[in-house]
């Protein structure tokens, strides 16, 4: 029993074998997959996938890369989608000061707008944070502490930052990078934060874990991530799988 808390099943790289990929994940014990929207088009596609596969759930959001194109109309379109029961979170939203595909000013504005909309809808959020730790934390801290606020996806900060987010009410999601030999920082995070505040994810088709590194990532590969976390914590794989799946169910209201 495992939950892949973050994948992008709508992307074109899955067009030729999407049904096979989902079926293989289920056959390998991945009981739930969250497919994540990054703009209005992908959010619609994510919702359609969730309607087609009982094990798939969807989210809506405007990724920071697309902040320059995230108009009021786009935000309204995203909000309209949230009435569907298959939509379980608002995201992927946040800040990305590494790629710089959208201006920092627009990223911050769109991020704050979406946080407010998600709060009004009482929905958890999925946060993208790349090279923007201080600004993301500052914005989230202004929102105040709250239980089950959301998750910091593909966490790339250190242990201290992880605990700071946890104290605000967020979960920390560990990606396949934890299996990389030189990824000492994320290994430290995976080994030390409370298991009760941890999710696991693939971010498929990106960031495939060892021994699949360099290939297309798939939801079934989240098992490698969970096994490495179990090794780092000196726990059984089953303990990690059960607890992280429970965490995902609690956060996203999964049945």
Residue 166 confidence (pLDDT) = 98
Q: How many CB atoms lie within 10 A of CB 208?
A: 22
- Alpha-carbon gap, residue 252 to 134, rounded angstroms: 26
Query: For the chain, what is the mean pLDDT?
Result: 98
pLDDT at 140: 98
At residue 157, does pLDDT exceed 90? Answer: yes
User: What are the tens digits of pLDDT across the range 26-38?
Assistant: 999 999 999 999 9
Q: Is it the case that residue 22 has pLDDT exceeding 90?
A: yes
Indicate the pTM of the whole model. Answer: 0.97
Question: Which residues fall within 8 angstroms of residue 41, CB to CB, at 6 or more apart?
Answer: none
Q: State yes or no: pLDDT of 222 exceeds 90.
A: yes
pLDDT at residue number 131: 96
Compute CA 223 distance to the chain's CA centroid, rounded to the nearest angstrom: 16
> Distance (Å, rounded) from C-alpha 78 to C-alpha 214?
33
* Residue range 172-181, pLDDT digits in tens: 999 999 999 9
- Please report which confidence band the pLDDT of residue 207 belongs to, taking 50, 70 and 90 as the band edges: very high
Over residues 39-67, mean pLDDT: 98
Beta bridge mates, 125 = 90, 150
Can you list the domains of the chain with their CATH numbers? 2-252 (3.20.20.140)
CB 194 within 8 A of CB 159: no
CA distance 134 to 206: 25
Nearest to 110 by CA among 79, 72, 78: 72
pLDDT at 232: 98
Residue 255 scores a pLDDT above 90: no
For residue range 75-120, list pLDDT tens digits in order. Answer: 999 999 999 999 999 999 999 999 989 999 999 999 999 999 999 9
Residue 159 pLDDT = 98
SS3 131: coil
Mean pLDDT over residues 39-64, rounded? Answer: 98
* 193 token code pair: 């934060």
Query: What is the percent of the chain where pLDDT is above 70?
Result: 100
């Amino acid at each position: 029993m495992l939950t892949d808390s973050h994948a992008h099943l709508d992307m074109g790289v899955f067009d030729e074998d999407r049904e096979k990929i989902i079926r293989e994940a289920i056959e390998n014990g991945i009981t739930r997959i969250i497919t994540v929207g990054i703009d209005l088009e992908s959010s619609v596609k994510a919702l359609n996938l969730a309607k087609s596969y009982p094990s798939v759930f969807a989210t809506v959001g405007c990724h920071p890369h697309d902040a320059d194109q995230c108009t009021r109309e786009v935000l309204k379109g995203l909000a309209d989608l949230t009435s569907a029961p298959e939509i379980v979170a608002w995201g992927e939203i946040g800040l990305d000061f590494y790629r710089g595909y959208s201006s920092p000013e627009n990223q911050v504005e769109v991020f704050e707008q979406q946080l407010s909309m998600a709060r009004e809808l009482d929905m958890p959020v999925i946060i993208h944070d790349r090279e923007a730790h201080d600004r993301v934390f500052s914005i989230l801290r202004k929102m105040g502490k709250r239980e089950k606020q959301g998750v910091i996806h593909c966490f790339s900060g250190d242990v201290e930052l992880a605990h700071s987010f946890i104290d605000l009410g967020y979960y920390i999601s560990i990606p396949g990078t934890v299996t990389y030999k030189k990824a000492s920082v994320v290994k430290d995070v995976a080994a030390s934060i409370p298991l009760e505040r941890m999710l696991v994810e693939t971010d498929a088709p990106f960031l495939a874990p060892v021994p699949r590194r360099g290939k297309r990532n798939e939801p079934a590969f989240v098992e490698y991530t969970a096994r490495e976390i179990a090794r780092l914590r000196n726990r059984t794989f089953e303990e990690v799988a059960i607890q992280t799946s429970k965490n995902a169910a609690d956060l996203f209201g999964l049945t």
